[in-house]
Amino acid sequence: MTDRWETASVAELARAIRDGATSSAELAEAAIANHEARDAALAAYKTWEPDRFRAEARVADDALAAGIDLGPLQGIPISVKDLFGVRGYPTFAGSPRELPPEWRHEGPVIRALRGQLAVFSGKTHTVQFAFGALGTNPHWGTPCNPWDADAHRAPGGSSAGAGVSLWEGSAALALGTDTAGSVRMPASMTGTVGIKTTQGRWSIEGISPLSPSLDTPGVLARSVADAALAFSVIDPEASSDPDGFMADVETAQAGDFRIGVCETFFDACDPGIAEGVRDALAELEASGARLVRVEIPDLDEVDAIFRTGGLSAFEFASFMRDVLPDFLADIDPMVGSRFDKMAAMTAADYQGRIRRMDALSRAAHAAIADVHAVVGPTVPITPPKIADVKEPKPYMAANLMAARNTTVANLLAMSAVTIPVALDAAGMPVGLQITAAGGADERAIAIARSFERVLGTARERLGVPPRTR
C-alpha cells in the first residue's frame, strides 16, 4: 500500500491499515521520505519533527493491535496550519518568533482528530497572522506552488503550506483556516479541494485569530471524498451520525441539484479560468445538473467592504494591540503597511459595518433560496510569480483580486467548497467554487462530491504537478 500512498483515498488507507496491508508507521515513513525528497522544491512546513510523527504513528498502530479502533482517521497523516495549537509543537502564526505558550493549547478541531488518534505530520507555513491571500511570508519563506516547474509562484494564502503538503505526499489531509478565502484560495491555486465551514459551526478555540467574527477552520484534501470523511469526524453535527452523513454524500448525483451560475464571479478572470469553469459546467449539465442563472445582489458593495478591511481590519488591530503588542515591531511589511488604516476604524464604523453586512447577507440568502448552491470560479487570477508581487502596489492588487470571489461567502455568512476542474492558460490549477447558504455545509459537500464523480479528482483531471514528478 505504501507504493500507492499518494493515490489511495483516505478510506482506502484506513482499510489497508486495518487489513494489515500497511500500518500507520509505514505511511509515516512514506510521508517522511516524500518530504525529504521534495522539501527543497516545495517548502510546505514551518515545523517538521519526523520523530514526533513516527511516535504518533506507533501509538495509532499499537492501539489497533490492542483492539482499539477509534475511527477512520486513526493513523492517517494530517498537516496542520501553524495557527492551530498542537501539543508539543510551537505556534509561530507566521511570525519570526514563537507566540506565548498559551497558543499551544489544543481546541476542539484538534481534539476531534486526537480522539481518533490521527497523526500530525507537522505545522505548515502561513502568512503572518493569516492576513494575506497569496501565501507570502518574508520571515520564513513562501512555499512553492507545485504546478510551475520553473518559476516560484504563489501557493495561495493564508494557509500557504496546506495544499502544498498534500502534493508533497507528506499528508493525506490538511487543516487550514478561512477568513476571506484562506482555505479555498490555496486549494484552488494548488489543485486541491477546500471546505469553508459556516461561521460558528467549528470552534475557533485554540487557533490564533485574525477576525473572530469571520474566522472559520476548514480542511483541504486530495479529493472531495477525503474532505467529506474528515468533515464527518470534525463537524459536531455530522460526527453524531458519520455513516449517515457519508451515505448522503456518496449517493448524491449531479442531477439532484438546481445550481445557480453567478456571472459576476466570471468577470475579469485571467486567461483560461472562466473558460475552464464553463467547460466543467457544460460537462455537469450534460450529466444532468440543472443550471440556471442567479445573481447575488450588491456584490460590488460586498467587494468594496472587503477592500476597505471588512471586519478583519478592526478585529485584527484590536487583537494585536491588546494581546500581542510586542509582535507589531516585526510584522510583515505587507501586513504592517495596512495596520494604521486598520487601527483607525472606529467602534461606530465597525458596528455600522456589522449591521450592513447582516442586511446584505439576508438579501443574498433570499436571492439564492431557489437554488441548492451558486457556482463560479474560485479565484479569478493565475497564481502570480513571487518575483512579480514583491512591491506593495502589485502585491495589493493581486491580493485583493485573489480573494474577490471567495470573500463573498465569509462576509455573507455562507458555506463553500472549491474543487479543481481545469488548468488555465499558464498551466496553473483552476477551482470551481460551490457556495451554499449558511448552515448548508452538508449540502455543499454533497454537491461537490456529485460533481467530482462526473469530473474526476484532481489527479484524474489535471494530472500530477511538475515539481512532484
User: Mean pLDDT score of the chain, rounded to an integer?
Assistant: 96
Q: Residue 45's closest CA among 2, 82, 84?
A: 82
| Residue 175 main-chain phi, psi, to 5 deg | -95, 135
pLDDT (mean) for 389-416? 97
Q: Percent of the chain having pLDDT more than 90?
A: 92
Whole-number pLDDT of residue 252: 98
Pick the catalytic residue: 79, 170, 182, 232? Answer: 182
pLDDT (mean) for 117-140? 97
- Residue at grid coordinates 442531477: 255
Q: The CATH number of the domain where 91 resides is what?
A: 3.90.1300.10
CA distances from 131 to 177, 240, 332, 378, 407 (A): 11, 34, 10, 19, 13
Taking a C-beta distance cutoff of 8 angstroms, is the pair 406, 184 a contact? yes
**Res. 164: pLDDT tops 70:** yes
Determine whether 182 is an active site residue.
yes
Whole-number pLDDT of residue 334: 83
Pick the catalytic residue: 46, 81, 123, 196? Answer: 81
**Res. 130: pLDDT tops 80:** yes
Whole-number pLDDT of residue 2: 62
Pick the catalytic residue: 158, 170, 213, 450? Answer: 158
Determine whether 223 is an active site residue.
no
pLDDT tens across 42-54, in order?
999 999 999 999 9
29: CB partners within 8 A, 6+ apart: 2, 54
3-state secondary structure the chain: CHHHCCCCCHHHHHHHHHHCCCCHHHHHHHHHHHHHHHHHHHCCEEECCHHHHHHHHHHHHHHHHCCCCCCCCCCCEEEEECCECCCCCCCCCCCCCCCCHHHHCCCHHHHHHHCCCCEEEEEECCCHHHCCCCCCCCCCCCCCCCCCCCCCECCCCCCCCHHHHHHHCCCCEEEEEECCCCCHHHHHHHCCEEEECCCCCCCCCCECCCCCCCCEEEEEECCHHHHHHHHHHHCCCHHHCHHHHHHHHHHCCHHHCEEEECHHHHCCCCCCHHHHHHHHHHHHHHCCCEEEECCCCCHHHHHHHHHCCCCHHHHHHHHHHHCCHHHHHHCCHHHHCCHHHHHHCCHHHHHHHHHHHHHHHHHHHHHCCCCCEEEEECCCCCCCEHHHHCCHHHHHHHHHHHCCCCHHHHHCCCEEEEEEEEECCCCCEEEEEEEECCCCHHHHHHHHHHHHHHHCCHHHHHCCCHHHC
pLDDT tens across 78-104, in order?
999 999 999 999 999 999 999 999 999
Whole-number pLDDT of residue 268: 98
Positive or negative torsion for Cα 344, 347, 348, 354: positive
**Res. 10: pLDDT tops 90:** yes
Whole-number pLDDT of residue 235: 98
> Total structural domains in the chain?
1
Residue 377: give the domain boundaries.
2-468
**Res. 224: pLDDT tops 90:** yes
Determine whether 203 is an active site residue.
no
**Res. 153: pLDDT tops 90:** yes
pTM, two decimal places:
0.97
Bridge partners (DSSP) listed for residue 420: 431
- Residue at grid coordinates 448522503: 248
